[in-house]
Amino acid sequence: MRLIFIGPPGAGKGTQATRLAQRFQIPHISTGDMFRAAVKAGTRLGQEADRFMKQGQLVPDEVTIGMLRERIAEPDAVRGFLLDGFPRTTPQAQALEQALNADGVRLDHVLLLEVPASLIEARIIGRRSDPVTGEIYHLEFNPPPAEIVERLLHRKDDTVEACRARQVAYQRDTTPIIPFYEGRGLIRRVDGVGASDAVTARISAALA
């Protein structure tokens, strides 16, 4: 199974992708998580990505495409993968298509998680993640257990300003890939509003 998750910042891609990847036993490949790991490790890639990420701007295609191509060539991704946060531009979508064509494989579904702009800020500002388990929480919508609150992280780009810039980047750079995949009959629209379990059920229905 080869899946892509598209959706605005805070739509719930990470939350839902973790569940789906477990269900299908495929790697959950998040370019955002890969960049954050590189920033933490202090590598050259991390230093370059950090400049863009903290302002809510996209990392340049040359950097992102190379990183993703290497990742999907790894052995665990040969049988399938779930991409979360890639592609986000038309050149990225074209590069992915070329890479898959060269391997003689194709995408199964592109899930478009739809959440109105009015709900996004609250989701982003209240998000906290657990560095130990990778679990994503929300102070109000998915509260963490009291005993781990101290260790939770707040993402650098989860500020009001960066969140707005990310929404602009999504509208400008990422929404053009929706017609790209619609033309290939791959888009499955899923309403991302409501409880996470209800969204998971809608995703299952969309894939059935």
14 binds Mg ion (CB under 5 A): yes
Return all residues near 63 (Cβ < 8 A) that are at least 6 apart: 45, 48, 49
Report in angstroms how near the CB of residue 29 gets to ligand AP5 at its nearest. 10
Residue of 175, 136, 164, 176 lying closest to 56 (CA atoms): 164
Report in angstroms how near the CB of residue 128 gets to Mg ion at its nearest. 13
Measured distance CA(199)–CA(14) in Å, rounded: 13
Task: Kindly tell me the sign of the dihedral angle through the C-alpha atoms of 44, 47, 52, 53.
Answer: positive
CA distances from 114 to 9, 40, 137, 171, 206 (A): 10, 30, 20, 12, 13
Among 7, 112, 177, 181, contact with ligand AP5 (rule: CB under 6 A)? 7
20 binds ligand AP5 (CB under 6 A): no
Among 80, 94, 130, 141, contact with ligand AP5 (rule: CB under 6 A)? 141
Q: Which stretch binds ligand AP5 (CB under 6 A): 73-81, 93-101, 133-141, 145-153?
A: 133-141
Q: DSSP secondary-structure letter at 56? A: T
Question: Contact residues for ligand AP5 (CB under 6 A)?
Answer: 7, 9-15, 31-32, 35, 52-53, 56-59, 64, 85-86, 88, 92, 123-124, 126-127, 136-138, 141-142, 157, 166, 194-196, 199
